[in-house]
Amino acid sequence: MEGDRPYALSTERETDSNLETRIRAEFADMPGLKLTLPQASRLFNVERLRCERILGELVTHRDLSSSGGSFQRFDGDRAHPDSTHRY
């Protein structure tokens, strides 16, 4: 029903928030954890597109960084992963 759609969107956002919290916790509990998108999708039991969106949000919020197709916990001492510094 059309009236159910706002509820569905609200539930999806709440579920995404719970997933973000879970992913942050996993990376915090295992400091050296480095996952590719397919690995993260399997570990968190989330379909690939949704996982990619959530991981991207965590990179944007600097909870995670992305390098070479892998995601890892953001290290505040390094440059933002989107920057392109050359040494």
Residue 34 bridge partners (DSSP): 72
Instruction: Please give the model's pTM, rounded to 2 decimal places.
Output: 0.72
For 15, 35, 78, 83, the CA distances from 86, given in Å and listed in that order, are 39, 25, 13, 10
Task: Write down the H helix ranges in the chain.
Answer: 5-29, 37-43, 48-60
Q: pLDDT in tens for each of the 87 residues of the chain?
A: 455 555 544 456 668 999 999 999 999 999 899 999 999 999 999 999 999 999 999 999 999 999 999 999 998 754 444 443 333
* CA dist., res. 83 & res. 42, Å (int): 29
Domain ranges of the chain: 2-73
Q: Which of 13, 27, 10 is nearest to 62 (CA)?
A: 27
3-state SS assignment for residue 36: strand
CATH of domain 2-73: 1.10.10.10
